[in-house]
Structures are given as C-alpha cells and as structure tokens.
Amino acid sequence: MQKPTALVIGAGIGGIATAARLAKNGYDVTVLEKEATPGGRCNQIIREGHRFDIGPTLFLMPEIWEETFAALGERMSDHLQLKRIDPTYKVHFDDGLQLELTSNIGEMQTQLEKVEKTAFTGFLNYIAEGNRHYKMSLEKFVGRNFHTIFEYFSLGNLPLLFKLKALKKHYANTGRFFKDERLKAAFTFQNMYLGLSPYDAPATYSLLQYTELAEGVWYPVGGMYAAIQALVKIAEKLGVQFIYNAPVKKMKEERGRIKSVFIEDGREFLADLFVGNADLPYIYKELLPKNDEAKKLEKKLYTCSTIMFYWGVDKEYPQIAHHNVFLGGDYKASFDQIFNDHTLPEVPVGHLDARSEQDWEALVNRARGTVLTRLAKELGAEDLIEHIKFEIVYQPKVWKDRFNLEKGAAFGLSHNFWQVGYLRPQNRHKEYKNLYFTGASTHPGTGLPIVLLSARLTTERILKETGTISVQNMANALAQARTYRVSH
Ligand SMILES: Cc1cc2nc3c(=O)[nH]c(=O)nc-3n(C[C@H](O)[C@H](O)[C@H](O)COP(=O)(O)OP(=O)(O)OC[C@H]3O[C@@H](n4cnc5c(N)ncnc54)[C@H](O)[C@@H]3O)c2cc1C
C-alpha cells in the first residue's frame, strides 16, 4: 500500500521532530529548508576554528527531549552526552553585586542571606511555587491540544488559571518572596527567554526558574547543534528526505485544501498534507493564497529581538564564565524601552517596528560599546577589543531575512494571557484542513523543549484527524505516554 505523503516547510527543530514523528507513523515525508543546513534558530557558525551556537545555549527540560527520542524508537543517551551546567549563570548588577544561581542550596543560602535576611525562605517558597506551576502547566495546558474554546475555558480549567496565577504579573508576584529589587530582578529576567517583560508576563512563568534550578541547565558535548544533528540523523533513518537551499515561495490551494508548494527555482511539490514550521505569521502573510488572517496576526503582540555578537577571539579569558547576565541600573525602564519603545536599553532589544525610526547600525554600535565596557570594568577583560579577530552580528533584520521571522522577533509570537493555549494561533489552519503548523509561534510556544512538545501535539492531531495511526504505532504511543507520565 502506498504511504500517505507529508511535506514540511522548514527544518527548524519543530520541523525536524514533526517530520521524524510522521515518518515513524507511516508517512513518506519530505522537508524543504531554505537554508543550506538544518536547525533554524538552533544552527551554528563555524569559522577559523571557532564554533558558535547561533541561538539557544541552555538545554532545558531534558525529560521532554527524552520523550521525543523515545517516541522515535531511540534513547537520548545513545545520541547525546549531556553535561550539567552549575552554576547556571552569574548575574551582575550595576552596583557591583554578583549572584551565582546554583542548585547548591547551601551556596544559595549564603549568597541570598547576604542581600536580605529572609531571602532564602523566600527563595524556597518561590521555587516550590515554580514547581507547582511547571507540573500543572505541562499536564493541563502546555502538553495538550485544545480543539475548542470550551475545552480551554472549561469548568475544570478555570480554577487552574487562578492556581497558576495566570492573571497576576510575574514581577509583582515575586514581591511576595523578596523585597530587594535586585533579587526580584534575578528571579524574573528569565522571562526574556519567552520574549516577555516580567512586568507583563503572567506569574505562571516562575516555572522557568524552577526548571533551571531544580531540573537543571544542561549542555550537549559538541554544542547545542549536536542535538539537531542527532534528530536529523534519526529522521533520515526513518526515511525523511531533507532538501536544502529550497525556499518555499507559494502554497497552491485547490478546492479548499493545499495541493502543492512551489520553491524558488519553480519546482512544485505535491503532498497529502503540509506542515508549516517556518514562522506562522510569515506563512500566513507570504505563502498562503488568502490573506485575511495575516492582517490579524500582524496586530498581535510579538516577542523582543536580540543583538548577538559572535566574536572570534585569539586570547583566553578564564574569568568569563559560560553564561553571564548583566542587568541595567533601571530594571523597569529597560523593559519599557524594549517592549514599549522597541529600542535598545543595555542589551536585549525590541523587535522591528515600521512605525518608529530604528537606526540599527547605531544601535549595534552602542550595544557593542556597552558590552565591551561592562566586560572590561566588571570582569577585567580590558584588552578584549584588541583580541577580536572577527565579528559576526545578528540583529533584528538578520533574524528576519535569514529565518523569515516576522518583525525579526527572535522568539516568535508573544506569550501573554491572550496568546497562549487555545488563544494562540492553532496548529491547524481553520480552512485548509490538510495544513498544520509546528514551531515557536503556534501552540504551546517558544523554547526548544516547548517546540518539541509542539511537534508531538501537531503529530498527534494529524494522526487523529487523518486516522493514519497504525495499530502497532498506537500501542507504541500508549506505552511511551505511560513512560512519560511515570517519569514525572
Ligand atoms: C538568541 C536566541 C536564544 C535562544 N535561547 C534558547 C535557549 O537557551 N534554550 C531554548 O530552549 N530555546 C532558546 N531559544 C528559542 C529557540 O531557539 C526557538 O524557540 C526554537 O529554535 C524555534 O524552533 P522552530 O522550529 O519553531 O523555528 P526555527 O528554528 O525558526 O525554524 C524554522 C525553519 O524554517 C525555515 N524557513 C523559513 N522560511 C522558509 C521558507 N519559505 N521555505 C523553507 N524554509 C523556510 C528557516 O530557515 C528555519 O530553518 C533561543 C532563541 C534565540 C533566537
């Protein structure tokens, strides 16, 4: 019997994982990727003997990664050698205070009590709350599909929104645990990973601090890209065909379904179903024939962007550890500048905004100056500038041009209350019932493990709606789901 065919647009982690899951479930899968290599935002740069992770450097929530490998019939430990990173990072305040966030409880106590007498008790309570938020969110909201608004705002779910503090602001809620403004900052800036200001983010997101400190920050030997290489290898073993340098230009509709896609060189690819892994708002805006939804998406809230400096340096600076976070003096003003003015505070930056003038060259120069000054003053790297052999810069325009990220928003659509769960753009097109989405701007959201969940949820929806799951695979899926639940 001929296999059903699936075509995936984009070989980001979401596209790779969805392609592999579909292949495992009996699909003949082709992935079209515009770049020369897979990985998307989780790609790498190799130059003159230096290797850089372009985007992610924190390997979080290993149990979700493990579930992905298991669903593909593999063991993560056979493919990735993970090292725990502890302390996770050093936070530098502009008044000279430094905090090393670590899972070593004794160390945390000593550091926190130096800043505020009751801070250690506050910290334990804060992490306990983060633990509750993490477990509850994963089980009830993040790790499942919502097909109707009634499922989402069901009588069972409504009390959970309060338990998860979905309507409280994260920064304000942190005041219940710490009084010192610097401690509130140290335990909320992580919202930036979701591209959210802690002044707007729901208090639910204390789950991030819990996962980092309790479940751990990890790093694969060989770099984050080792994870992409491992997943691509498994996908290829399952029969997925990857075609690189193949930017999709248009999707063709026929009788209410997507029939094919055209790539830049004019070739047409037909399939039974399509999965968009490129940024969802971009697909609606640039690839789909009808555009009503694109206009609505344009008005949604987007995450911030970033300016990245990849420096090839010919000297070692052992005093600069793997992750350092430098917080600006006026914490609130910094976030206002990023999220309201869409410009540059001390480093993370707002996204592209057609309404305001943004001179990116000047902003990049200012960012470089600030970074070099703080590294010199606070970490003694005074001669760093003389030892930079080459520099590669990623700023919002690069994020947009290279990966087609709408507005250059590095983390995709934002994750405020109105843009999560059922309220986030769905992982299936409303009209074209054979067009699905996977990745950071659909449900559940951004971050590598969360995108891996997206791949699982999209695949589950496809298999449910097309009825293509084989008896054998259903048995496997059930067994895996059981293992997954037990591991929690
Ligand atoms: C600076 C930065 C730091 C981050 N740090 C972390 C971290 O430490 N930990 C973590 O877990 N997450 C982190 N993230 C988030 C994480 O990188 C993303 O959530 C995740 O990589 C998104 O994967 P994706 O598959 O949704 O999208 P993408 O990686 O964007 O993949 C989409 C793919 O589609 C391709 N594409 C686009 N248009 C077309 C087209 N027309 N035709 C064909 N192909 C197309 C793109 O080239 C790309 O390969 C970070 C992100 C950034 C930007």
Amino acid at 60: L
Say if residues 256 and 248 touch (Cβ distance below 8 Å): no
Taking the C-alpha atoms of residue 76 and residue 71, their distance in angstroms, rounded to an integer, is 11
Residue 400 Cα to ligand 1 middle (Å): 11
Residue 473 is predicted with a pLDDT of 55
**Exposed/middle/buried for residue 153 (C-beta within 10 Å: 0-12, 13-18, 19+):** middle
Please work out whether the CB of residue 303 comes within 6 Å of at least one atom of ligand 1. no
CA of 440, closest atom in ligand 1: 26
Please give the backbone phi and psi of residue 64, each rounded to the nearest 5 degrees, phi first.
-75, -40
* Omega cis (within 30) before 198: no
Please give the backbone phi and psi of residue 98, each rounded to the nearest 5 degrees, phi first.
-125, 140
Please work out whether the CB of residue 305 comes within 6 Å of at least one atom of ligand 1. no
8-state DSSP, 384: G
Please work out whether the CB of residue 13 comes within 6 Å of at least one atom of ligand 1. yes
β partners of residue 53: 44
Residue 180 Cα to ligand 1 middle (Å): 35
CA of 454, closest atom in ligand 1: 26
Name the helix (H) or strand (E) containing 209. Answer: helix 207-210
Secondary structure E strands in 271-387: 273-276, 308-313, 324-326
Number of neighbouring beta carbons within 10 Å of residue 236: 15
Residue 475 is predicted with a pLDDT of 53
Residue 396 Cα to ligand 1 middle (Å): 14
Please work out whether the CB of residue 42 comes within 6 Å of at least one atom of ligand 1. yes
Residue 132 Cα to ligand 1 middle (Å): 28
pTM over 0.85: yes
CA of 12, closest atom in ligand 1: 31
Please work out whether the CB of residue 451 comes within 6 Å of at least one atom of ligand 1. yes
| 3-state SS track over 170-206 | HHHHHCCCCCCHHHHHHCCHHHHHHCCCCCCCEHHHH
Number of neighbouring beta carbons within 10 Å of residue 465: 14
Please work out whether the CB of residue 87 comes within 6 Å of at least one atom of ligand 1. no
Please work out whether the CB of residue 277 comes within 6 Å of at least one atom of ligand 1. yes
Angstrom distances, CA of residue 349 to CA of 63, 343, 359, 409: 31, 6, 12, 10
Taking the C-alpha atoms of residue 310 and residue 312, their distance in angstroms, rounded to an integer, is 7
Residue written as tokens 């008790």? 121
Residue 14 Cα to ligand 1 middle (Å): 8
Say if residues 253 and 429 touch (Cβ distance below 8 Å): no
Residue 330 is predicted with a pLDDT of 79
Please work out whether the CB of residue 10 comes within 6 Å of at least one atom of ligand 1. yes
Please work out whether the CB of residue 404 comes within 6 Å of at least one atom of ligand 1. yes
Taking the C-alpha atoms of residue 325 and residue 311, their distance in angstroms, rounded to an integer, is 17
Token code pair at residue 421: 């769960």
8-state DSSP, 416: S
Amino acid at 337: Q
Token code pair at residue 74: 């593999």
Amino acid at 444: P
Most informative mutation of 18, 33, 41 for ligand 1 (most atoms within 8 A of CB):
41
Residue 40 Cα to ligand 1 middle (Å): 5
Please give the backbone phi and psi of residue 104, each rounded to the nearest 5 degrees, phi first.
-75, 105
Taking the C-alpha atoms of residue 245 and residue 402, their distance in angstroms, rounded to an integer, is 12
DSSP 3-state percent helix, strand, coil across the chain (nearest 5): 45, 20, 40
pLDDT < 70: residue spans in the chain: 346-349, 355, 357, 469-488
Name the helix (H) or strand (E) containing 282. Answer: helix 280-282
Q: Are strands 324-326 and 89-92 parallel, antiparallel or unpaired?
A: parallel
Please work out whether the CB of residue 454 comes within 6 Å of at least one atom of ligand 1. no
CA of 306, closest atom in ligand 1: 1
Q: Residues, the chain, total?
A: 488
User: Which residue from 397, 192, 402, 193 is spatially nearest to 278, judged by alpha carbons?
Assistant: 402
Residue 353 is predicted with a pLDDT of 76
* Omega cis (within 30) before 87: yes
CA of 278, closest atom in ligand 1: 34
Say if residues 432 and 456 touch (Cβ distance below 8 Å): no
Number of neighbouring beta carbons within 10 Å of residue 412: 25
CA of 249, closest atom in ligand 1: 41
8-state DSSP, 88: -
DSSP H helical ranges for 39-180: 62-71, 105-115, 119-137, 149-152, 158-163, 170-174
Residue 416 is predicted with a pLDDT of 86
Residue 210 Cα to ligand 1 middle (Å): 24
Q: Are strands 273-276 and 5-9 parallel, antiparallel or unpaired?
A: parallel
